[in-house]
Structure 1
Amino acid sequence: MKSSIASISIFVIMVLSMIFSVHYLKIIDSKLIYSSDQIEKSLESNSFDKAGDFLKQFKIDWNKYSNKMTLFTNNNEIDDINLELSRLSQYIKFKNKEESLASISSIRSIVKSISDMERLSVQNIF
């Protein structure tokens, strides 16, 4: 009987942990997507100074969340975002609109894929 209670308790804790992690990733995802949208809007209106300011805020948020995201996801995606952020900062610095837009699109795509990969679904289970 004690082993059954222990097993059920561990199962419940695991399920609650998964729910928490998915919810937490959704919160992070929405904040980062919103920030990337702000950068993109600034770039589309040729406001590179504004885009640089939004990028600084994005980097602050990213540095705050990326360490926690490594608990939930593959580190390759984290590294890919860090690489694209480095590229994006240079593209914005030199006012290269096309490359900046492509880079922010890549960042947004990677962030979305992290959230999609960790979502509870039948596709992710098998």
Structure 2
Amino acid sequence: MRNLVISFLIFIILIITIVFSINFLISKTNYYSEKANQLETLVIQDSWDKAYDISTDFLNGWEKDSKKISIFINHFHIDAINNEILKLTQYIKYQDKSDALAIIHDIKFLLKVLLEMEKVTISNIF
């Protein structure tokens, strides 16, 4: 009986941890997607100084949050997003509009993929 109770408690803790991690990931990907949309608008409007400030904030925030996200996400995806954000800051710094917009779309796509990989679906279970 004791083993059953302990197993059940471990199962409940596991479910709570999974729910927490998915909610954390959803909130962070939504936050960074919104930042990417904001950057896209600023780059289109040629507001380079403001876009550079936001892109460095984006980079600093992502570096801090990616450490928490890396607990339950493959490092490959986090490294890919890190590389794209680093490129983005340089493209914005040197006012390269077409490459900056391309990288922003790439970041949004990578964030979307990151979120899709963690959804509970039949294809992700098997």
* Structure 1 CA distance for aligned equivalents of residues 23 and 92 of structure 2: 32
Aligned partners of 1:22 and 1:120 also within 8 Å: no
Identity of matched residues, %: 34
Which amino acid counterpart does residue 57 of structure 1 have in structure 2? D
Aligned residue in 1 for 2:87 = 87
Aligned partners of 1:91 and 1:97 also within 8 Å: yes
* Structure 2 CA distance for aligned equivalents of residues 87 and 58 of structure 1: 12
- Please list the CA deviations of residues 19-43 of structure 1 after superposition, one character each: whole Å capped at 9, or x if unmatched: 1100010111111111111100001
* Structure 1 CA distance for aligned equivalents of residues 14 and 59 of structure 2: 32
* Structure 2 CA distance for aligned equivalents of residues 73 and 30 of structure 1: 16
Kindly tell me the number of residue pairs found equivalent between the two proteins: 126
Which runs of 5 or more residues in structure 1 are unaligned?
A: none
Which amino acid counterpart does residue 50 of structure 2 have in structure 1? K
Residue 105 of structure 1: how far off its partner (Å): 0.9
Which runs of 5 or more residues in structure 2 are unaligned?
A: none
TM (norm. structure 2) is 0.95
* Structure 1 CA distance for aligned equivalents of residues 27 and 83 of structure 2: 23
**Matching of residue 15 in structure 1 with residue 15 in structure 2:** yes
RMSD (Å) for aligned C-alpha atoms: 1.0
SS in 2 for 1:46: coil
- Please list the CA deviations of residues 90-118 of structure 1 after superposition, one character each: whole Å capped at 9, or x if unmatched: 21121110100000111111112111111
